[in-house]
Amino acid sequence: MSQYLDLIMFAGLIGAILLGFPVSFSIAGVAIIFGYLGWALGVMDITLLGATGQRVFGLLSNTVLIAIPLFVLMGAVLEKSRIAEELLDTMGRLFGQLRGGLGISVVLVGALLAASTGIVGATVVAMGMIALPTMLRAGYDPRVASGIVCTAGTLGQIIPPSTLLIILADVMSNAYQQAQYEEGKFAVEALSVGQFFAAAIMPGLVLVLLYLIYILIRGAMRPKDMPPASLDTPRPERAEVLAAVVPPVLLIVAVLGAILGGVATPTEAASVGAIGALLMAGRRISRRPKIILVGAAALVLLGVLAGAFPVRLQRSDLGFLSQAAGGFYVILTIVGVIGIAYALRAAFREKVIHAAVTSTLTMTAMIFATILAAGMFSLVFIGLGGEERVAEILTGMPGGPTGALLFCMALVFVLGFFLDFVEISVIVLPLIAPTLILMGHDPIWLGVLLAINLQTSFLTPPFGFSLFYLRGAAPKEISTGQIYAGVMPFIGLQILGMALVFFLPQVSTWLPRALF
């Protein structure tokens, strides 16, 4: 029995989670119990747990992970200020009179919200409360409507900026460095979040395209499932469409453009995104939106000019042009701060800040508690010989590197039925990724494949999180069975998307290679 303690430990973790115990406590509790058993049976050196403190310190000093709460805050501010609701309403009226038009609008809005928030739960709940009743009133089949809303909401997992991609970038970078050490390389290369963001853009757009093609084909073949909206629904004016679409697009360009252009790190870009989201929210709910708009424009102009023409104000031999530029920058800064102040005042008055910060703290605490507990779990699992067992299983897999990869993808897909993406990312992936990289798989391509696979876990019954989110937000006439049936075609499209990236690696690798 003692020689199989690592496998029993992994099975025990899944069992504890399925019994409904809190995830982080389940991970830490299983690690402590099996660490003691391993020591008592003489198959593990208990001093190995002394490295827990170093792992905690490493996590708390990891600058990459600081971007997580900032991106979560950005998404929470946009969601609590009802910007998503305005965008859904406008796009629904724009495309609604086409056959399948409401479904198209939901997918497009899901993609925009994914690129500007990256929070799956908020997107699914918002669209479940706003778009789903509209689709049902228009005569949409409840299964089709539920599947479209669920799937569009999960785009936040693959389209940057995504919490999943930030965690994956950290895990895959560590795995890549470990693989290089095992190959005898000591001048190791690291992978950045920006590379994974760049790699995930095209696959994310491919998934959006697959969803749209499916909706159009189904709308043509079975028009009763997705009829057009009533002709009485007024189409939005061009100015209304621009007012709803342009601010999120500008925020996306500011955040992703800064990261992919090498202007800012993900953490710095996330702080810019949080400020941008606050300004967008303030413009919508403030009584003086023009002041906030001018402040936002001043900050954008300041960023562009200061990046192109930097001025070192501490120097004593500044010329007239430098002094004038410095003074102009100070004026722009003051105008921008005034705009931020008005946005904060409006957000506090409407209680947007309180709700957004509470949501951010809750989600951030959950993610980091899981990562901390997973560090202890990994130490015990390695101490019990689990890492060597995993390497032996993968290297002995028929089909060589391709067979090992397919086995791991199938394993992650099955685990996605029961576990959240955070648990899979920080527990399972560190065990399989180094071996797969040593077998010759490109780490960035591998990370994108795993990201699409983990995104699918949000849709797979019985524990897909998007299914739970929609069940809580959907009207009572929508049954759980209809939600499950509605996502099945889209799970097939997810698998098709994975296959495209698998057989055409350039879809995910050409952009990071071009930029980095």
Written as one string, the DSSP assignment of 450-484 is HHHHHHHTTTSTTT-HHHHHHHHHS-TTS-HHHHH
- Other beta carbons within 10 angstroms of residue 214's beta carbon come to 21
Question: How far apart (Å, rounded) are the C-alpha atoms in residues 204 and 156?
Answer: 9
CA distances to 114, 117, 146, 201 from 471, rounded to whole Å, are 20, 21, 9, 29
Beta carbons of 256 and 161 less than 8 angstroms apart? yes
Beta carbons of 372 and 365 less than 8 angstroms apart? no
Highest mean pLDDT out of 351-365, 390-404, 418-432, 500-514: 500-514
Long-range contact pairs involving 189-195 (C-beta distance under 8 Å, separation at least 24): 191/443, 191/444, 191/447, 192/266, 192/516, 193/64, 193/67, 193/165, 193/166, 193/169, 193/259, 193/266, 194/259, 194/260, 194/262, 194/265, 194/266, 194/512, 194/515, 194/516, 195/169, 195/444, 195/512, 195/516
Residue 493 has pLDDT above 90, yes or no: yes
Under the banding of pLDDT at 50, 70 and 90, the label for residue 403 is very high
User: What is residue 444's predicted lDDT score, i.e. its pLDDT?
Assistant: 93
CA distances to 38, 423, 455 from 373, rounded to whole Å, are 18, 10, 22
Helices (H), 138-190: 142-153, 163-182
From 15, 62, 5, 22, select the one nearest 373 (Cα to Cα): 22
Residue 96 has pLDDT above 90, yes or no: no
Residue 312 has pLDDT above 70, yes or no: no
Q: Copy the structure tokens of residue 170.
A: 């950290």
User: What is residue 100's predicted lDDT score, i.e. its pLDDT?
Assistant: 79
Amino acid at 460: T
User: What is residue 318's predicted lDDT score, i.e. its pLDDT?
Assistant: 57
User: What is residue 316's predicted lDDT score, i.e. its pLDDT?
Assistant: 55
Average pLDDT for residues 102-109, to the nearest whole number?
A: 87
From 270, 266, 283, 284, select the one nearest 340 (Cα to Cα): 283
CA distances to 424, 503, 511 from 171, rounded to whole Å, are 11, 24, 21
Peptide bond into 462 cis (omega under 30): yes
| Average pLDDT of every residue of the chain | 83
User: What is residue 496's predicted lDDT score, i.e. its pLDDT?
Assistant: 94
Residue 409 has pLDDT above 60, yes or no: yes
Beta carbons of 375 and 62 less than 8 angstroms apart? no
Beta carbons of 330 and 348 less than 8 angstroms apart? no
Amino acid at 115: A
Inter-axis angle of helices 352-383 and 52-60, nearest 10: 150
Under the banding of pLDDT at 50, 70 and 90, the label for residue 380 is confident
User: What is residue 503's predicted lDDT score, i.e. its pLDDT?
Assistant: 94
Give the single-character DSSP code of 234: P
User: What is residue 257's predicted lDDT score, i.e. its pLDDT?
Assistant: 80
User: What is residue 230's predicted lDDT score, i.e. its pLDDT?
Assistant: 63
The least confident of 134-148, 240-254, 395-409 is 240-254
User: What is residue 324's predicted lDDT score, i.e. its pLDDT?
Assistant: 72
CA distances to 70, 170, 284, 321, 434 from 426, rounded to whole Å, are 20, 10, 38, 52, 13
DSSP 364-421: HHHHHHHHHHHHHHHHHHHHTTHHHHHHHHHHTSTTHHHHHHHHHHHHHHHHTTTS-H
Average pLDDT for residues 454-459, to the nearest whole number?
A: 85
Amino acid at 383: G
> Rounded to a whole number, what is the distance in angstroms from the first to the last CA of the chain?
49
Q: Copy the structure tokens of residue 60.
A: 């708390």
Amino acid at 151: T
Q: Residue 119: what are its φ and ψ, rounded to 5°?
A: -110, 115
From 219, 233, 20, select the one nearest 104 (Cα to Cα): 219
Under the banding of pLDDT at 50, 70 and 90, the label for residue 322 is low
Amino acid at 78: L
What length does the chain have? 516
Helix (H) or strand (E) holding 125, with range, is helix 120-137
Q: Residue 62: what are its φ and ψ, rounded to 5°?
A: -80, 110
User: What is residue 311's predicted lDDT score, i.e. its pLDDT?
Assistant: 59
Three-state SS at 462: coil
pTM as predicted: 0.84
Question: How far apart (Å, rounded) are the C-alpha atoms in residues 38 and 16?
Answer: 19
From 282, 284, 275, select the one nearest 346 (Cα to Cα): 282
CA distances to 83, 424, 514 from 258, rounded to whole Å, are 23, 30, 16
Q: Residue 312: what are its φ and ψ, rounded to 5°?
A: -90, 100
Give the single-character DSSP code of 428: I
- Higher pLDDT: 210 or 243? It is 210
